[in-house]
Structure 1
């Protein structure tokens, strides 16, 4: 029986690229599977809901009702992959909730494959949060994202590199281009006539990484 992946894109810091990766992942999964359900847990605009309103719902983890509503959806093995764009303001509360209800064990029992896509940082707060996740989730479920636009140079030695997703820097004019609310990564790949262009290569590379990751999670492989 195949597992249903649940991707939690997270960082305790703002403006590190969470929504960008949530967009990439959501569009890739929609292209690959024909369906995906994304959750937007953010305070600031623009958010994932603004970019992908047709496949995104808002979620709230500030009260018990909102937490239970979200968790009921995440542990449902309905063969629809879930993506969570977890705002920095909700980071501590979300993972506290996960630990209290035994989310990792319950997910395994129901053939749900959670993956924490954590944005690495060099500040003390990010490093503490990373260590918390390493204690809470299995090694195969923790994927470190190195956004080279945010963290220049190498990551700290304490960052485990077995599952590392490097997000290369784009030129500012291309970054501005993809930040438009009307921009679609998949539509760009389909419409671009020059596959050697920098943006085409950037999207294609990231889609390839996400394809490999999704295949491992779906098949229940830890390597």
Structure 2
């Protein structure tokens, strides 16, 4: 069965790697499928739109019109994967809206598969946010991202019991390198011939993780 995935990258806290994850996932989908629609719901700069302007658009959920515009785009089964970089300021409002309009049920009816990628942290705000999602999102649709750059040590038990995706930390000089607005992960893969390079290995491992996640969705819906 064909389906259209909608990946929602989120956290109730800033500076946990949401935009980096959204960039990685968007470029993976672009490389694999030739197309992706990405949405930027952020206040901070730089944001996903700054990195990937060719296929990213801003979205606003501060008013009813903006919410309707976004949801109309997300529930279309057009075969083009969607990625949402959900700013921390919009976390509560976005998932409150999803619950009020029955987004998950409507998505299932239209063969759209939402996947929530929660960027983990060890503070109370993150714990509360993860608990809210566990109450609202089916376990198969909630993936906790263990970003080593942010979480240095063990995750809280409640976050480590469901589906997980691990992102290794890069050395500071490589982190600075990929944080440049002009940097493209796919361009790097095309031009870097040394597959043993640390960044090359890191990127391939992350893309493999996305591929396994995508395949699990296919099996889940087949």
- TM-score bracket for the superposition, by shorter chain length: over 0.9
Higher deviation after alignment, 187-196 or 59-68: 187-196
d(CA) in 2 for partners of 1:115, 1:87: 16
> Paired residue for 1:153?
153
> Paired residue for 1:123?
123
Once the two structures are superposed, what CA deviation does each residue of 1:59-110 show, in whole Å capped at 9, x if it has no partner?
0000000000000000011111100000000000000000000001111111
> Paired residue for 2:185?
185
Matched, 1:216 2:190: no
Unaligned 5+ runs, structure 2: none
Conserved 8 A contact 1:38-1:84: yes
Conserved 8 A contact 1:144-1:161: no
Conserved 8 A contact 1:11-1:91: yes
d(CA) in 1 for partners of 2:103, 2:160: 23
Matched, 1:105 2:67: no
Conserved 8 A contact 1:24-1:185: yes
Aligned to 1:121, the other structure's residue is in SS state coil
Unaligned 5+ runs, structure 1: none
> Paired residue for 1:114?
114
d(CA) in 2 for partners of 1:169, 1:161: 22
d(CA) in 1 for partners of 2:104, 2:121: 24
Shift of 1:220: 5.1
Matched, 1:19 2:19: yes
Shift of 1:215: 2.4
Shift of 1:216: 2.4
TM-score when normalising by structure 1 = 0.97
Aligned to 1:54, the other structure's residue is in SS state coil
> Paired residue for 2:66?
66
Aligned residues: 222
Conserved 8 A contact 1:113-1:220: no
d(CA) in 1 for partners of 2:219, 2:3: 6
After TM superposition, the structure 1 = structure 2 runs for residues 77-92 of structure 1, keeping only pairs within 5 Å, are 77-92=77-92
Shift of 1:120: 1.1
Once the two structures are superposed, what CA deviation does each residue of 1:148-176 show, in whole Å capped at 9, x if it has no partner?
11110110111144411111010000000
Indicate the RMSD between aligned Cα atoms, in angstroms. Answer: 1.2
Conserved 8 A contact 2:142-2:162: no
Aligned to 2:46, the other structure's residue is in SS state coil
Conserved 8 A contact 2:11-2:91: yes
Shift of 1:14: 0.2
> Paired residue for 1:48?
48
- Report the CA distance shift for 1:220/1:112 in structure 2 as closer, same or farther (over 3 A): farther
Shift of 1:221: 1.1
d(CA) in 2 for partners of 1:30, 1:149: 25
